[in-house]
Amino acid sequence: MVEITHLDASPDTRVPKASVRAADGTAAAATLGLNFGSAEQRGETLVVRIRPDEWYLLGDGAPAMAAGLDLSGFASTVDISHSRTAVRITGDCAADTLSKLGSADFSDHMTPNGAALGNGIAGVTCDIVRDDQRGVRSYLLLLDGSFITYFLGALHDAASEF
């Protein structure tokens, strides 16, 4: 079973998203913390260290958290709510579905809950956060919004066998 949801399908459900870029040693980097490739829910915000010097703040708390950051030193934020679109794929076969379209290893040992990675899925570069929902395997995919029509088609097609 897999369930695919485009979270940004309507303005009401759109997930606020911010990107924070911060060099090592800056206050923002210290505040956000985390290891590269991992994610953590903090209140209303899912914080993801998606690259060594870049964090995503996702969820209703994101704008406030971004605005509250100390950007001294070499740090900056960009609102990416409209650039990246969010798709959630949940269910026991979620990893099998992704494995049809992407080459990353989505097994528990290589991509445990809370892991974040970049991988091409059906030819579209996605940032992927393994973010299980109440114990059910789930992935949050962030991709360039312009691909969404194509992307959902490919995802549903891949999931159709499950």
116-124, long-range: CB within 8 Å, 24+ apart, which pairs?
Answer: 116/37, 116/38, 116/39, 116/48, 116/49, 116/50, 117/37, 118/50, 121/151, 121/154, 121/155, 122/150, 122/151, 122/154, 122/155, 122/158, 124/150, 124/151
- 11-37: buried (b, 16+ CB within 10 Å) or exposed (e) per residue? eeeebbbbbbbbeeebebbebbebeeb
Within positions 83 to 102, which residues make up the interface with other proteins, using CB under 8 A?
A: 83-84, 96, 99-102
The residue from 82, 133, 156, 162 that contacts other proteins (CB under 8 A) is 82
Within positions 9 to 48, which residues make up the interface with other proteins, using CB under 8 A?
A: 11, 14, 19, 21, 23, 35-38
Segment near other proteins (CB under 8 A), from 56-64, 86-94, 104-112, 132-140? 104-112
Within positions 53 to 72, which residues make up the interface with other proteins, using CB under 8 A?
A: none
Nearer to other proteins, 30 or 156 (CB): 156
Interacting residues toward other proteins by CB under 8 A: 8, 11, 14, 19, 21, 23, 35-38, 51-52, 74, 76, 78-84, 96, 99-103, 105, 107-112, 115-120, 122-125, 144-147, 149-151, 154, 157-158, 161
